[in-house]
């Protein structure tokens, strides 16, 4: 994430750190939420103004801003790991549909070509 304003590549790289896909996100049954940091990082990206962020559905940005401001209802709602996971999965799928899957495949192919 070299730029100050997030673009598609920033989201793809961040999601990639957490695995090939988020299919296992709902299978996690533990006291800790291994995706909480991912949620926090996604919120931080959504807060930044960029043309890519503006192309995303407004609801993602609204939740991020409310969460960041400490809106009581949003904090309560996002305090449930299932709600955070749902948001992450929705955003992940949208990112993949908007060119993220092609970019991810290209990045994986390039990393395999490197010695």
* pTM of the predicted structure, to 2 decimals: 0.84
Which pLDDT does position 115 carry in this prediction? 62
Q: What is the mean pLDDT of residues 75-104?
A: 91
- Share of the chain residues as helix, strand and coil, in percent rounded to the nearest 5: 70, 0, 30
* Residue 86 confidence (pLDDT) above 70: yes
Q: Mean pLDDT in the chain?
A: 86
pLDDT tens readout for residues 51-82: 999 999 999 999 999 999 999 999 999 999 98
Contacts 24+ apart (CB under 8 A), 16-22: 16/104, 16/107, 21/92, 22/85, 22/88, 22/89, 22/92
Which pLDDT does position 4 carry in this prediction? 72
Total Cβ atoms within 10 A of residue 84:
23
Which pLDDT does position 2 carry in this prediction? 45
Q: How many CA atoms lie within 13 A of 45 on its CB side?
A: 26
């Amino acid at each position: 994430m070299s730029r100050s304003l997030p673009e598609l590549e920033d989201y793809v790289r961040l999601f990639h750190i957490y695995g090939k896909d988020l299919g296992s996100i709902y299978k996690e049954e533990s006291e800790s939420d291994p995706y909480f940091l991912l949620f926090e990082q996604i919120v931080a990206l959504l807060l930044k103004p960029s043309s890519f962020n503006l192309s995303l559905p407004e609801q993602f940005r609204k939740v991020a801003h409310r969460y960041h401001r400490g809106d009581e209802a949003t904090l309560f709602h996002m305090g449930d790991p299932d709600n955070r996971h749902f948001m992450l999965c929705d955003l992940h799928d949208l990112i993949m549909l908007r060119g993220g899957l092609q970019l991810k495949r290209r990045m994986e192919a390039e990393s395999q070509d490197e010695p």
